[in-house]
């Protein structure tokens, strides 16, 4: 028996039917066609499926679809305003903070959560906050530089 769920994703009202065992990640990717959120492990270890659920950074693979009822969800698809990239996205490109790019959506969302919580992180704080987002290509160096630069730019803009 599927549940009928009403939720908000990136500001849009969305309704979907889901099996009680389906994860939010499966709903986003397979039922809603929102494949920007990636799956790297399905067990909450890699952070590729990071989304913001009611203001909290979560792995969408560890949340059930039914938990989205009445929630506000933010995914990577909602970070840019139309074609205007968010500062975090611009800095990732400027610093070449991605190679294959599979971890990038999760890192963009996690960085957004970090900077909303702590607009002036030290490098060490950024490294620990983002420790749940695995990247196998970059060695994190350019990611951290992009994050620190985005933080500085956002502080100036604020």
Partner 1 sequence: MSEAREFKHIGQRTIRPDGFDKVTGKANYGADLSLPGMIWGAILRSPHAHANIKKLDVSRAQASPDVLAIATFEDFPSVNAAAQRNGSQRKDLMDTACNIFANQKVLYHGHAVAAIAARSQAAAIAALDLIDVEYEVLTPVLNINDAISADAPILHETMMTQGLAEPATEASNVSARMELKKGDIEAGFAAADVIVERAYDTPTVHQGYIEPHATTVVFNDNGPSMIWCPTQGHFDVRARVAQLMNLELGQIKVVASEIGGGFGGKTTVYLEPVALILSKKSGRPVKMEMSRGDVFRASGPASASQSRIKIGAKMDGTITAMQATLHYEAGAFQGSPMGPGCMTVFTPYDVENLYVEGFDVVVNKPKVAAYRAPGAPQSEFAAEMAVNELAKKIGMDPIEFRLKNAAKEGTQTIYGPKLKVVGLVACLEAAKSSPHYNAPIPENVGRGLAAGFWFNIGGQSSVIINLNPDGTGTIIEGSPDIGGSRASMQMMAAEILGVAPSSLNPIVADTEHVAYNQTTGGSRTTFATGMAVVEAAEDIVEQLKARAAAMWNVTAEQVDFTDGVAHNLSGEDQLTLAEICASAEKTGGQISGRANINARGAGPSFAVHICDIKVDKETGKTDVVRYTAIQDAGKAIHPSYVEGQFQGGAVQGIGWALNEEYVYSKDGIMENAGFLDYRIPLASDLPEIEAIIVEVPNSFHPFGVRGVGETGIIPPLAAVGTAVAEAIGQPISSLPCSPPKILKLLMAAH
List residues near partner 1 by CB under 8 A. 19, 21, 29-30, 33-43, 45-46, 48, 75-77, 79-80, 85, 89, 92-96, 98-105, 108, 124, 126-128, 130-131, 133-144
113 or 143: CB nearest partner 1: 143
70 or 108: CB nearest partner 1: 108
70 or 138: CB nearest partner 1: 138
55 or 101: CB nearest partner 1: 101
Separation of alpha carbons 148 and 111, rounded Å: 10
**29's tokens:** 């990717």
Residues 6+ apart with CB under 8 A from 65: 3, 5, 16, 18, 19, 22, 23, 24, 26, 27, 31
Q: Where are the alpha helices (DSSP H) in the chain?
A: 24-26, 87-94, 104-117, 123-129, 141-157
> What's phi and psi for 35, nearest 5 deg?
-90, 5
Vertex 53, ends 47 and 54: CA angle to 5°?
150
**19's tokens:** 């099996």
62 or 70: CB nearest partner 1: 62
Residues 6+ apart with CB under 8 A from 121: 114, 115, 129, 147, 148, 151
């Amino acid at each position: 028996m599927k549940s009928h769920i009403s939720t908000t994703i990136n500001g849009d009202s969305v309704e979907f039917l889901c099996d009680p065992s389906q994860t939010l990640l499966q709903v986003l990717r397979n039922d809603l066609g929102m494949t920007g959120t990636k799956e790297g492990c399905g067990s909450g270890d890699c952070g590729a499926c990071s989304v913001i659920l009611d203001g909290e950074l979560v792995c969408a693979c560890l949340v059930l679809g039914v938990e989205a009822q009445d929630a506000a969800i933010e995914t990577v698809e909602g970070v840019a305003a139309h074609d205007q990239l968010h500062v975090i996205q611009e800095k990732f490109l400027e610093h070449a903070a991605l190679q294959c790019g599979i971890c990038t959506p999760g890192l963009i969302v996690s960085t957004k959560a970090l900077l909303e919580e702590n607009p002036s992180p030290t490098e060490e704080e950024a490294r620990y906050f983002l420790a749940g987002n695995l990247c196998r290509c970059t060695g994190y160096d350019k990611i951290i530089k992009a994050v620190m630069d985005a933080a500085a730019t956002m502080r100036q803009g604020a």
